[in-house]
Amino acid sequence: MATLRDIKRRINSIKSTAKITRAMKMVSAAKLRRAQEKMFALRPYSDKISEVLSALARPSDEETHPLLKVRPRETVEVLILSSDKGLCGAFNSNVIRAGVKLIERLKKEGFQVSVSVIGRKARDYFRRRGIKMRQVWTGLSGKITYSSAQEVAQELMESYINETFDELYLVYNEFKTVVAQRVREVRLLPIGEIEKDESVDMKDFLFEPSEQEVFNRLLPKSIEILVYRAMLESQASEEAARMTAMENATKNAEEMIDRLTLEFNKARQASITKELMDIVGGAEALKE
Amino acid sequence: MAEKLTLEVVTPYGSVLSEEVNEVVAPGSEGEFGVLPGHVPFVTTLKIGILTYKQNGSVRYVFVNSGYAEVYEDRVLILADSAERAEDIDVERAKAAMKRAEERLKKQENIDFARAQASLQRALTRLQAAEKIGKR
């Protein structure tokens, strides 16, 4: 049986673990709030951009923006959004599993597949398995800005226009609630049809340089926004997943402390009883 | 005719500005343009530059980083990648960004020339805007 000192030591070590997990939970809660605030702040901007895009007249066929053009599919790119750090439950394994499934399905359908990743976790996964990645972005999580999303989006759009790939899928964790995150796959490129909103009339406007040109210049913004939003959703999901994981860890630690405290008390009582018996036995022996 | 304009500047980080003003001058991609109340409806894209507006006799400056502008008779809406009032510009950061961009341009190798140039221009324009209100 463990001695009193052993048990005491274990209790102390678990107590400090619980302290750490509790602190991590608080930190995640703060980070989650920040990511949510960013998502909220993006709303007016993204709403307006999509409103304008749907109101503007389309360029004629030969001037169609390359991002709208649909080419025969040969190479399909899959971009997976993971995190840089672990300790966030099934967050990364969920998104990686979904990504790998999509890659396999596309391969089975006979397409070339190229893989790009955001975050160390997905990078390490593919690197361990010797799968080559086209692009890797790391060090973004925690400090996502619109301009960092812009860089990612611009690289993707350039590669699409260069015909490095003909279609682009994004796999990421969507933030539903603090306790529920869902993996989503969305096709980012080609953009496909943007519905024309006839209710907004822009006939009376003067355009500089031209209505079509304004449309073409704004179009990349919609991709930038989508990438930025996906990155924020992923960030919020990561922190929410970590919060839940850390809460569970704290709870488990507390349970263990309770159990060990009980064991400690039992051991202490046993040793007292034993000492008492020794004394009583000694006294009895002296009497005789 | 309306006497005032509502100027709104919106970025992905939220609204930067929403105010009643008398006059706006904005850096359109095809050249600067001024807006007074009663302007014809007008749409253009913006380049990196300084947006100026007059409000009750005082002149104010806002750094805008490319984007889109929509002008109505009594309203100006600006959508920019980023925007800061001259008062809010972090001069030290802009200087550091300028240095970084210059170094990258000097090296000349393995760089995205357009991107480095754009970030240099952003930094320079930020500094210009800050200078206009006497901040260095």
Span B19-78, pLDDT tens digits: 999 999 999 988 899 999 989 999 999 999 999 999 988 899 999 998 889 998 889 999
Contacts of B82 in chain A (CB under 8 A): 146-147
Same domain, yes or no, for B28 and B78? Answer: yes
Distance from CA of A168 to the nearest CA of B (A): 23
Domain span at B108: 89-132
Q: Which residue among A18, A88, A226, A249 is the active-site one?
A: A88
Q: Do B43 and A205 touch (CB under 8 A)?
A: yes
Cβ of residue B30 closer than 8 Å to a chain A Cβ: yes
Helix (H, G, I), strand (E, B) or coil at A272: helix
- Please answer whether residues B46 and B114 qualify as being in contact, where contact means their C-beta atoms are separated by less than 8 angstroms: no
Same domain, yes or no, for B74 and B118? Answer: no
Q: Token pair for residue B22?
A: 């008398």
Distance, C-alpha A153 to centroid of its chain: 17
CA distances from A55 to A50, A116, B72, B73 (A): 9, 33, 16, 19
Domain holding B104: CATH number?
1.20.5.440
Q: Do B30 and A208 touch (CB under 8 A)?
A: yes
Of A45, A204, A214, the CB nearest to B12: A45
Same domain, yes or no, for B101 and B63? Answer: no
Q: Token pair for residue B16?
A: 């930067």
Backbone phi and psi for residue A287, each to the nearest 5 degrees, phi listed first = -55, -45
Same domain, yes or no, for B94 and B81? Answer: no
- Please answer whether residues B33 and B25 qualify as being in contact, where contact means their C-beta atoms are separated by less than 8 angstroms: yes
Same domain, yes or no, for B63 and B123? Answer: no
Rounded Cα distance, B66 and B85, in Å:
15
Instruction: Count the domains in chain B.
Output: 2
Domain holding B24: CATH number?
2.60.15.10
Same domain, yes or no, for B94 and B71? Answer: no
A222 Cβ contact list (under 8 Å, min separation 6): A49, A50, A53, A191, A194
Same domain, yes or no, for B11 and B23? Answer: yes
Rounded Cα distance, A78 and A135, in Å:
11
Q: What is the pLDDT of residue A1?
A: 55
> pLDDT tens digits for A56-83?
877 666 667 788 877 888 899 999 999 9
Cβ of residue B114 closer than 8 Å to a chain A Cβ: no
> pLDDT tens digits for B102-117?
888 887 666 677 788 8
Taking the CB of residue B105, how many other CB atoms lie within 10 A of it? Answer: 14
CATH 3.40.1380.10 holds for A28-193+202-243: yes
Mean pLDDT of the region A190-219: 79
Same domain, yes or no, for B50 and B106? Answer: no
Ramachandran class of A142: left when φ > 0, alpha when ψ lies in -120 to 50, beta otherwise: left
Work out the percent of chain A whose per-residue pLDDT is above 70.
97
Same domain, yes or no, for B45 and B82? Answer: yes
ipTM: 0.83
A88 is catalytic: yes
Q: What is the pLDDT of residue A104?
A: 94
Q: Do A217 and B43 touch (CB under 8 A)?
A: no
Same domain, yes or no, for B18 and B54? Answer: yes
Mean pLDDT of the region A197-214: 78
- Please answer whether residues B103 and B62 qualify as being in contact, where contact means their C-beta atoms are separated by less than 8 angstroms: no
Same domain, yes or no, for B72 and B97? Answer: no
Q: What is the pLDDT of residue A120?
A: 93
Same domain, yes or no, for B128 and B98? Answer: yes
pTM of the model: 0.87
